[in-house]
Structure 1
Amino acid sequence: MRRVGLIDQAAARFRDEVVSGRWPVGARIPTEPALVAEFGVGRNTVREALQSLVHAGLLRREQGRGTFVISSSELTGTLERQLAGGTRRHYLELRLALDSTAASIAARSRTDADVALLRELRDRREAAWSSDDPDARASADLALHRAIVAATHNPLYVTLYSSMLDVFAVHMRDDESEDEETAHRHHRELVDAIAAGDGGRAAEAVASIFAPFMG
């Protein structure tokens, strides 16, 4: 029992390294000997604690390379496994539902500070489209939509949405079937509707954003 408790304690400490960002997503974590020295536990305990985080979807072992952080949330790994196998349209429909509801709630719950941030991120999104870097464009777009969810001030919604973004990103990358100016206009309408407290118009703006991708 004491050994099981020690493994759980070590796993909790390693999980905190991931969730806090001290071990960021994409990074290779310290070697087992380094962790033994840093945390003061045995090598077998370290190995089993790390394996529990592999099973949880936070870490991935790569033969000959080490162990890498692949997610900062156990929920993301669980969702990725549960949602595997969906078609691209399934992912689009799910995100449309989440974004529409978030926009409607945000219109009721947003603060002046939220509105100022949304306008800033809207402008950053437009500026990013002058770049040829698809990663910069995707990052700027997701930052705006994530901020809209944050403006709901519903912590459960924020946690769920943030966890699902990693799943959505795999299936919706570089998808730009709408012309640039129309996309900018729809995002401006979205932010303006939230600022005005008009939930219905905000949800309609989200539908307009997604319409070109739905076929």
Structure 2
Amino acid sequence: MPLATTRRTGLVDQVIEQLRAAVAQGDWPLGTRIPTEVELGEQLGVGRNTVREAVRALAHTGLLEVRQGDGTYVRATSEVSGAIRRLCGSELREVLQVRRTLEAEGARLAALSRTEEEVAELWSLLARRETELRERRWEDFAHTDAEFHTAVVRAGHNGLLTELHRGLTEVITASVAATSSITPGVHHVPEIGHEGLAEAIAERDPDRAAAEACGFLDELLERVERA
């Protein structure tokens, strides 16, 4: 990962910005252990204490996680995501409720604002999702499913809603994976399809799109309540 050598003013802030950029750009994917303080100091041309202070600041925001005796790991892709993860915690019911609010409005806006290219992207993601389901590739399925929902919200062309949803992406992926273990046999949960949602968006039907987005999440919420 190429890191620019820092200037000698505001060193901690500069290191924070470079570490944040490395996470946001995917140089350090989610769950990755980042280089040690010594290694980062050598790459950036700063002291170990400067790196430690920057890492501590990003750990406080939820972007990084310091595990004593093990190292520092990427916990979220942005401070927004880190904050949401702290708020939602591991409570699946709350995560699904937040998803319902954001994605219902996102689907409605997508039906009004989507482009033909965005519709094509939705169908492509659904095709990949179906393949991963058929091949029982559950981890890939969870990521593709989350990517589909992100694409729906992005097609609404509301920057603030998209940013909030992007911050929820990791939690959404975790919630999809969690719903796969609500009942024995992972194949029970992915039976919920999204073709109706894609069709409503393609046909520019905002009311149906919102209803489709709410429908499958309501079903997941019911399964959580029964579990």
TM-score normalised by the shorter chain: which range applies?
A: 0.7 to 0.9
Q: Displacement of 1:147 after TM fit?
A: 0.8
Aligned to 1:104: 108
Corresponding position: 1:91 with 2:95: yes
Residue 33 of structure 2 contacts residue 71 of structure 2 at CA under 8 Å; is this kept in 1? Answer: yes
* 2:19 maps to which of 14, 21, 41: 14
* 1:146 maps to which of 131, 144, 150: 150
Instruction: Give 5+ residue unaligned stretches, structure 2.
Output: 1-7, 223-227
**Counterpart amino acid of residue 34 in structure 2:** I
Q: Distance in 2 between matches of 1:180 and 1:33?
A: 46
Q: Distance in 2 between matches of 1:144 and 1:97?
A: 16
**Counterpart amino acid of residue 163 in structure 2:** T
SS of 1:26's partner is: coil
Corresponding position: 1:205 with 2:212: yes
**Counterpart amino acid of residue 133 in structure 2:** W
* 1:43 maps to which of 48, 61, 67: 48
Corresponding position: 1:121 with 2:128: no
Could you report, residue by residue, the CA deviation over 1:84-132 in whole angstroms, capped at 9, with x for unpaired residues? 37x5333322211211111100001100111111111122122221022
Residue 118 of structure 1 contacts residue 191 of structure 1 at CA under 8 Å; is this kept in 2? Answer: yes
RMSD: 2.4
Q: Distance in 1 between matches of 2:93 and 2:23?
A: 32
Change in 2 beyond 3 A, CA 1:116/1:37:
same
Could you report, residue by residue, the CA deviation over 1:39-92 in whole angstroms, capped at 9, with x for unpaired residues? 11112111111111111111112222221111110111112222337x533332
Change in 2 beyond 3 A, CA 1:120/1:169:
closer
Q: Distance in 2 between matches of 1:206 and 1:156?
A: 19
SS of 1:67's partner is: strand
Percent identity, aligned pairs only, is: 37
Aligned to 1:66: 71
Q: Distance in 2 between matches of 1:126 and 1:172?
A: 15
Q: Distance in 1 between matches of 2:38 and 2:188?
A: 53
> Counterparts in 2 of 1:186-197, with a 5 A limit?
187-197=194-204
Q: Displacement of 1:172 after TM fit?
A: 4.2
Instruction: Give 5+ residue unaligned stretches, structure 1.
Output: none
Change in 2 beyond 3 A, CA 1:179/1:39:
closer
The alignment covers a number of residue pairs equal to 211
SS of 1:94's partner is: helix
Q: Distance in 1 between matches of 2:45 and 2:157?
A: 40
**Counterpart amino acid of residue 25 in structure 2:** S
**Counterpart amino acid of residue 160 in structure 1:** L
Greater Cα offset, 38-47 or 60-69: 60-69
SS of 2:66's partner is: strand
Aligned to 2:161: 157
Residue 146 of structure 2 contacts residue 172 of structure 2 at CA under 8 Å; is this kept in 1? Answer: no
Q: Distance in 1 between matches of 2:124 and 2:201?
A: 14
Alignment TM-score, normalising by the size of structure 2: 0.83
